[in-house]
Amino acid sequence: MGFNATCTPGRDAAAAMVRVTPQVPALVIYLDPVNIAIQLPPFPGGSDVLMRFCRELSREASKLADHLGSHEGRHALAEGDPDVRG
């Protein structure tokens, strides 16, 4: 199933690895109030696909966090969005 969505994290957003069953792990993203669960693909090698995806997600999320933590990233966001300036 494919779909596109744009969400923003609320103040209580979080992420967790959970077990749907003892054999089925999932990544759950709690965006406050929207929740997204990413589960094992139901085909042979699905665990390898999910493993690669999670590693890529981790790398790219780290890049984004580093950018937002830099002076350049903070400046770019604060200049264009009056809500961010607080």
**Stated pTM of the model:** 0.75
Closest CA relative to residue 29, chosen from 19, 38, 21, 42: 38
CA distance 66 to 44: 35
pLDDT digits (tens, 9 = 90+) for 18-63: 999 998 899 999 999 999 999 999 999 999 999 999 999 999 999 9
- Where residue 71 falls among pLDDT bands split at 50, 70, 90? confident
Contact yes or no for 16/37 (Cβ under 8 A): no
What pLDDT is attached to residue 85? 44
Residue 86 has a pLDDT of: 46
Residue 82 confidence (pLDDT) above 60: no
